[in-house]
Amino acid sequence: MALEAGFPMTIIVDDAGGTPRTLSAVINTVQFATPRGVQDVTGVSMSAIARLLLLADQTVTYGLAAFDDAANSSHDVFKTVSSSSVARTNSIALSGQTLASEMYFTDYQLNRGADGSITASVPGVLANGAVPTWA
């Protein structure tokens, strides 16, 4: 058994023009999921729930700990979320495993705290119907 924790991740997101940008240094939190839909098909004659497994999906939310408007960094990549309708290749790599998929980023939420800090949250959803698969 090879249990691991606390190891670095590599996160690469395409900008609106399709150029991959490594954002690992500016993203400080990431939450991602690869859920499957289910359909309840329980008949009235059954004593337990019966389900069908449905389509695969993927979601991601990146948390940015600081505002970084350097060329090709986080603000440069995500500032076009509201003005461009393009799918972006999104790759999350950890411990030699990579989850790559086409994502639509749906918001670029900036927050200025009372202490003057500026953070951001960037949610994304699966774009193209391809099953998200670890490689």
Q: Which pLDDT does position 65 carry in this prediction?
A: 86
Q: Which pLDDT does position 101 carry in this prediction?
A: 97
In a domain, 63, yes or no: yes
Q: What CATH number did the domain enclosing 75 receive?
A: 2.40.30
What pTM value is reported for the model?
A: 0.88
Q: Which pLDDT does position 1 carry in this prediction?
A: 64
- The whole-angstrom separation of Cα 3 and Cα 104 is 32
High-pLDDT (> 70) share of the chain, %: 99
* Number of structural domains the chain divides into: 1
Question: How is residue 75 written in tokens?
Answer: 């603000």
In a domain, 132, yes or no: no
Residue 86 has pLDDT above 80, yes or no: yes
- The whole-angstrom separation of Cα 26 and Cα 11 is 10
Q: Which pLDDT does position 4 carry in this prediction?
A: 72
In a domain, 56, yes or no: yes
Q: Which domain holds residue 56?
A: 9-126
